[in-house]
């Protein structure tokens, strides 16, 4: 991390390289092509010249005076063990090697605390900071010092989460500093589908138009809504452009001022958005077909204003694009990589799902015979045989679920209001005497078990009950239902969150905002009493409840969050979808083992490897590999053993193994590469990402083969049998691995630039001092060299 404020000039060197000169050092970079080098140089020159012409003092990180440092000082970082000068400012933590380097404007890295989590370390003076990207462990001199740092860091996390930063970035666009309707200053609300920023009073008027017209969200309170893409919608469109559409023709007499009365405000806002009175009519207005096709083409471009315009002049957001693979405008936008367009469409799609639809009422009622056991106050853990069930006529209507002895019987045996059903849980088939069973949990803590051998009938019941119990925002959740209901949590309306579990996906409704959490990708899961789930959207606290349904949720979430003894796709995963175990090992070897002679070939200490693998299988995400605790050879061997033992292997089963081995026998090289690409695309996502991460890592290893002796051939010999679960007598597996390494870019469709940038990235990580000072040879012959400081 180099502050451009410290850089005096940028100098082109040769065809591909450039140097950054600061007072104290020179940094040499090499790009992939002259074009790319020139792009970098131009961009940096522009920033430097802006700096020169600006009257403000140059910003060497924080030396401008307008700084906001909460705490600074030296700490000891563990793994790699080194002293760092650390500084908390606003919502970030900055790491520098020394205090001098901080003044010189050269840093190691900064950590965005929005995603971070502060935890106690293993002893009284240490603490850990976990982020989605890596974990940092720090040690300070005393317990009180640790207290100070933990408090400051926790404050920093809440500051980051409170989205002060969000307002600041959105207000950077000048028109966003005024309410789109009444021009009040610094609007803190937004209509996320109409794409306008609003003051509190106008936001109130928007809310009364209903969710289907305007979806109002707060910049400060609704933290989770604000994805990067949504923020970009507001930076690209902003009030200025959005008003070119919505407010193109506001007569002076009808314009709104910030002191307007609420009636006046509502009248203006209704006319503006609901009736579209002041909007700029699209030239195609009234021609449905033409509007639809305009929508299909504009979503593939960057023109958000045009999309806003055609959408609000009558284009059908669900219109048929005529392309079978990409049937909707949304899928077209995604295909063309227009994620911001996709976000705009999604915000407008969702608004419909909040409208209650009458026809739902018919799905929400249901009647028929089901079999039922006696209700219980405890979770049902034992197997129930058919003899434990009795037949009941069940009816779901008018917000009541009731059951009777028979269809003719008028005397209810029991039942409950649907509002009292707090959980519905679907059992795996065959768990009890009847093939298909589900459990209902009532508010007062009783469990009811229902079942039938008729699978499709049970499915209809589950759907009907789901519709009757869940808030409308969760109606269009997809996937089969495994469990649904409400739980107490520290967020949400009155501390109530609604949950819908399908496979690994947990859909959560807090306030009126649905989030989807892939449980395999949780960063932390602790369930001592209450449950804490940390995912990339932040933490989610579920409060302990002594009632039986909470215990069930704990079990389900635990099970679905990835298990160490399962195939790759059911393991705990990183954000990129690579098993955590593999990711941690690759990261460790990349940091400490690239220069180690015979890495992956040398054996580790068997008992260490066994113990480590057990710990990972137990709960991979809780483990931080510290350099001191494990040698690189132990870690390398654990990785190999994991790959060798994981169910189905990386290639997903014996049959696929054979296809890869057969492909290796193809004579024609182009044909062979094509075949590998096809086999790769047929792999499940997790297997594909795993193979990609592993081969990328091996590419890095073999590029340092002068140091570590691991040539492509040696790596093939080691990893062939490991990946193909073979004994090593057949060399075809090794050949496949060699060819994957040799043709990494073409087989995995990776551009050189990406490889280059990734390598640069790890080089500038906090561990850069661990890398050899001598010139690093990087992939594809590109080289990047950090000169040691020139005094
Ligand atoms: Zn306003």
Question: What's the 360 CA to ligand 1 centre distance in angstroms?
Answer: 36
Query: 709 pLDDT band (50/70/90 cuts)?
Result: very high
What is the pLDDT at residue 757? Answer: 37
Q: How far is CA 709 from the centre of its chain?
A: 38
Instruction: Quick: pLDDT tens for 417-476.
Output: 988 999 999 999 999 999 999 999 998 889 999 999 998 889 889 988 988 888 877 765
Domain with CATH 2.30.29.30 in the chain: 4-53, 71-161, 360-469, 483-560
Question: What's the 273 CA to ligand 1 centre distance in angstroms?
Answer: 14
Residue 224 structure tokens: 């989770």
Average pLDDT over residues 1-20: 83
Residue 183 has pLDDT above 80, yes or no: yes
Question: What's the 195 CA to ligand 1 centre distance in angstroms?
Answer: 14
Instruction: Quick: pLDDT tens for 259-317.
Output: 888 889 999 999 999 888 899 888 888 888 999 999 999 999 889 999 999 998 888 88
DSSP annotation string for 676-701: HHHHHHHS-HHHHHHHHHHHHHHHHH
Is 580-750 CATH 1.10.555.10?
A: yes
Question: What's the 179 CA to ligand 1 centre distance in angstroms?
Answer: 5
Give the Cα separation of 102 and 96 in Å (integer).
6
What is the pLDDT at residue 752? Answer: 58
If DSSP codes are grouped into helix, strand and coil, which group holds residue 124?
coil
Contact criterion met (CB below 8 Å) for 773 and 706 = no
What is the pLDDT at residue 774? Answer: 28
Question: What's the 268 CA to ligand 1 centre distance in angstroms?
Answer: 11
Question: What's the 473 CA to ligand 1 centre distance in angstroms?
Answer: 27
Question: What's the 223 CA to ligand 1 centre distance in angstroms?
Answer: 21
Residue 190 has pLDDT above 70, yes or no: yes
Instruction: Quick: pLDDT tens for 377-394.
Output: 888 989 999 999 999 999
Which of 4-8, 403-407, 591-595 is predicted with the least confidence, judged by mean pLDDT? 4-8
**Architecture label for domain 288-353:** Alpha Horseshoe (1.25)
Q: Give the sign of the dihedral formed by CA 475, CA 477, CA 481, CA 482.
A: negative
Q: Which residue has the higher pLDDT, 364 or 57?
A: 364
DSSP annotation string for 390-401: EEEEEEEETTEE
Instruction: Quick: pLDDT tens for 334-351.
Output: 888 888 899 999 888 854
Check residue 90 and give left, alpha or beta (phi > 0: left; psi -120 to 50: alpha). Answer: left
Mean residue pLDDT of the chain comes to 83
What is the pLDDT at residue 223? Answer: 67
CATH (residue range 4-53): 2.30.29.30
Give the Cα separation of 110 and 107 in Å (integer).
8
What is the pLDDT at residue 385? Answer: 94
What is the pLDDT at residue 210? Answer: 84
Question: What's the 198 CA to ligand 1 centre distance in angstroms?
Answer: 5
Which of 40-44, 177-181, 351-355, 535-539 is predicted with the least confidence, judged by mean pLDDT? 351-355
Residue 736 has pLDDT above 60, yes or no: yes
Residue 613 has pLDDT above 90, yes or no: yes
Question: What's the 265 CA to ligand 1 centre distance in angstroms?
Answer: 8
Question: What's the 205 CA to ligand 1 centre distance in angstroms?
Answer: 9
Contact criterion met (CB below 8 Å) for 529 and 544 = yes
Check residue 636 and give left, alpha or beta (phi > 0: left; psi -120 to 50: alpha). Answer: alpha
Domain with CATH 1.10.555.10 in the chain: 580-750
Give percent of the chain with pLDDT exceeding 70. Answer: 87
- Neighbouring CB atoms inside 10 A of 199's CB total 22
Query: 693 pLDDT band (50/70/90 cuts)?
Result: very high
Instruction: Quick: pLDDT tens for 22-74.
Output: 777 788 888 778 888 888 888 788 777 766 665 554 445 554 444 567 788 89
Ranked by mean pLDDT, which of 63-77, 207-221, 657-671 comes out on top? Answer: 657-671
Question: What's the 272 CA to ligand 1 centre distance in angstroms?
Answer: 13
Query: E-strand spans in 311-419?
Result: 366-372, 390-397, 400-404, 412-417
CATH (residue range 71-161): 2.30.29.30
Question: What's the 196 CA to ligand 1 centre distance in angstroms?
Answer: 10
Question: What's the 201 CA to ligand 1 centre distance in angstroms?
Answer: 6
Question: What's the 349 CA to ligand 1 centre distance in angstroms?
Answer: 25
Give the Cα separation of 530 and 513 in Å (integer).
23
Question: What's the 182 CA to ligand 1 centre distance in angstroms?
Answer: 4
Which of 106-110, 277-281, 637-641 is predicted with the least confidence, judged by mean pLDDT? 106-110
CATH superfamily of 165-274: Arf GTPase activating protein (1.10.220.150)
What is the pLDDT at residue 65? Answer: 43
Give the Cα separation of 684 and 661 in Å (integer).
18
Question: What's the 524 CA to ligand 1 centre distance in angstroms?
Answer: 41
Q: What size, in residues, is the chain? A: 791
Average pLDDT over residues 512-527: 83
Question: What's the 313 CA to ligand 1 centre distance in angstroms?
Answer: 24
Q: What is the DSSP letter of 376?
A: B
Q: How far is CA 647 from the centre of its chain?
A: 26
Question: What's the 166 CA to ligand 1 centre distance in angstroms?
Answer: 19
Task: List, in order, residues 6 or more apart from 790 with CB less than 8 Å away.
Answer: 24, 25, 26
Top-level class of domain 483-560? mainly beta
Q: Which of 661, 657, 684 is nearest to 567 (CA)?
A: 684
Give the Cα separation of 431 and 437 in Å (integer).
8
Give the Cα separation of 272 and 556 in Å (integer).
48
What are the helix and strand counts (H, E) for the chain?
Answer: 26, 29
DSSP annotation string for 457-476: HHHHHHHHHHHHHS-GGGTT
Q: Give the C-alpha distances (Å, rounded to integers) separating 718 from 245, 494, 673, 745.
A: 63, 57, 22, 21
Q: Whole-angstrom distance between the N-terminal and C-terminal Cα of the chain?
A: 19
Question: What's the 344 CA to ligand 1 centre distance in angstroms?
Answer: 22
Average pLDDT over residues 138-162: 83
Contact criterion met (CB below 8 Å) for 82 and 47 = no
Domain with CATH 1.10.220.150 in the chain: 165-274
Question: What's the 269 CA to ligand 1 centre distance in angstroms?
Answer: 10
Ranked by mean pLDDT, which of 123-132, 400-409, 714-723 comes out on top? Answer: 714-723
Question: What's the 258 CA to ligand 1 centre distance in angstroms?
Answer: 6
Q: Give the C-alpha distances (Å, rounded to integers) separating 755 from 32, 33, 108.
A: 10, 14, 21
Give the Cα separation of 650 and 661 in Å (integer).
14
Question: What's the 204 CA to ligand 1 centre distance in angstroms?
Answer: 9
Question: What's the 628 CA to ligand 1 centre distance in angstroms?
Answer: 58
Domain with CATH 1.25.40.20 in the chain: 288-353
What is the pLDDT at residue 352? Answer: 42
Strand-pair category, 82-89 with 135-139: unpaired
What is the pLDDT at residue 115? Answer: 63
What is the pLDDT at residue 788? Answer: 32
Q: What is the DSSP letter of 40?
A: H
CATH number for domain 360-469, candidates 2.30.29.30, 3.40.50.300, 3.90.1150.10, 1.20.1250.20: 2.30.29.30
Task: Return phi, psi of residue 24, to 5°.
Answer: -105, -20
Query: 530 pLDDT band (50/70/90 cuts)?
Result: confident
What is the pLDDT at residue 658? Answer: 92
């Amino acid at each position: 991390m180099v502050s451009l404020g410290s850089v005096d000039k940028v100098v082109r060197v040769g065809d591909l390289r450039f140097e950054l000169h600061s007072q104290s050092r020179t940094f040499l970079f090499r790009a992939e092509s002259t074009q790319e080098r020139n792009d970098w140089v131009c961009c940096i020159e522009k920033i430097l010249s802006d700096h020169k012409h600006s009257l403000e003092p140059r910003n060497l990180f924080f030396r401008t005076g307008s700084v906001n440092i909460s705490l600074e000082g030296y700490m000891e970082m563990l793994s790699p063990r080194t002293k760092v000068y650390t500084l908390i400012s606003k919502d970030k933590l900055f790491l520098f090697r020394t205090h001098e380097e901080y003044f010189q404007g050269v840093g190691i890295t900064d950590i965005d605390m929005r995603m971070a989590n502060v935890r106690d370390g293993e002893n009284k003076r240490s603490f850990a900071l976990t982020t989605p990207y890596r974990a940092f462990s720090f040690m300070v001199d005393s317990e009180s010092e640790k207290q100070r740092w933990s408090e400051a860091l926790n404050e920093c996390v809440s500051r980051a989460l409170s989205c002060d930063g969000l307002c600041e970035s959105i207000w950077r666009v000048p028109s966003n500093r005024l309410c789109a309707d009444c021009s009040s200053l610094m609007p803190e609300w937004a209509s996320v589908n109409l794409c306008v920023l609003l003051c509190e009073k106008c936001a109130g008027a928007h809310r009364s138009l209903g969710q289907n017209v305007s979806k109002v969200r707060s910049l400060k309170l609704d933290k989770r809504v604000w994805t990067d893409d949504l923020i970009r919608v507001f930076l690209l469109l902003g009030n200025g452009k959005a008003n070119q559409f919505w407010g193109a023709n506001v007569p002076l007499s009808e314009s709104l001022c910030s002191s307007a009365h609420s009636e006046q405000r509502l009248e203006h806002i209704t006319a503006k958005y609901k009736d579209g009175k002041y909007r700029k009519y699209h030239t195609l207005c009234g021609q449905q077909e033409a509007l639809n096709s305009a929508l299909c083409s504009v979503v593939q471009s960057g023109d958000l204003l045009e999309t806003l315009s055609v959408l609000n002049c009558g284009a059908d957001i669900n219109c048929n694009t005529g392309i079978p693979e990409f049937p909707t405008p949304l899928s077209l936008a995604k295909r063309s990589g227009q994620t911001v367009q996709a976000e705009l469409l999604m915000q407008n799609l969702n608004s419909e799902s909040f409208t209650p639809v009458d026809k739902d009422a018919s799905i929400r009622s249901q009647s028929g015979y089901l079999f039922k056991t006696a209700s219980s106050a405890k979770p049902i853990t034992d197997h129930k045989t058919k003899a434990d069930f009795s037949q009941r006529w069940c009816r779901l209507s008018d917000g009541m679920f009731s059951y009777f002895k028979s269809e003719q019987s008028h005397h209810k045996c029991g039942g409950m209001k649907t509002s009292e059903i707090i959980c519905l849980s679907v059992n795996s088939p065959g768990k009890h005497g009847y093939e298909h069973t589900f459990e209902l949990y009532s508010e007062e803590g009783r469990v009811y078990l229902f079942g039938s051998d008729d699978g499709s009938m049970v499915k209809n019941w589950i759907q009907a009950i789901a519709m009757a119990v869940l808030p409308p925002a969760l109606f269009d959740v997809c996937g089969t239902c495994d469990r649904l209901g409400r739980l107490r949590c520290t967020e949400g309306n009155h501390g109530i969150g609604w949950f819908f579990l399908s496979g690994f996906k947990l859909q959560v409704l807090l306030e009126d905002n649905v989030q989807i959490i892939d449980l395999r990708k949780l960063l932390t899961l602790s369930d001592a009493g209450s449950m804490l789930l940390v995912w990339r959207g932040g933490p989610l606290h579920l409060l302990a409840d002594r009632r039986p349904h909470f215990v069930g949720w704990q079990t389900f979430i635990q099970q679905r969050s990835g298990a160490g003894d399962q195939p790759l796709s059911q393991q705990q995963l990183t954000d990129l979808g690579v098993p955590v175990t593999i990711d941690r090992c690759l990261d460790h070897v990349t940091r400490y083992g690239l220069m180690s002679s015979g890495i992956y070939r040398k054996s580790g200490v068997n008992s260490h490897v066994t113990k480590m693998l057990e710990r990972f299988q137990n709960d991979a995400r809780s483990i931080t590999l510290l350099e001191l605790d494990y040698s690189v050879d132990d870690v390398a061997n654990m990785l190999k053993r994991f790959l060798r033992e994981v169910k189905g292997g990386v290639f997903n089963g014996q049959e696929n193994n054979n296809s890869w081995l057969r492909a290796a026998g193809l004579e024609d090289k182009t044909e062979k590469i094509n075949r590998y690409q096809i086999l790769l695309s047929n792999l499940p996502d997790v297997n594909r990402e795993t193979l990609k991460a592993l081969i990328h890592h091996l590419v890095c290893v073999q590029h340092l083969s002068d140091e570590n002796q691991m040539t492509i051939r040696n790596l093939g010999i080691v990893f062939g049998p490991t990946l193909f679960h073979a004994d090593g007598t057949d060399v075809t597996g090794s050949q496949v691995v060699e060819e994957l390494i040799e043709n990494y870019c073409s087989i995995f469709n990776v551009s050189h630039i990406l490889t280059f940038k990734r390598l640069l990235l790890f080089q500038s990580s906090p561990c850069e001092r661990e890398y050899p000072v001598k010139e690093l040879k990087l992939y594809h012959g590109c080289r990047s060299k950090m000169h040691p400081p020139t005094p």
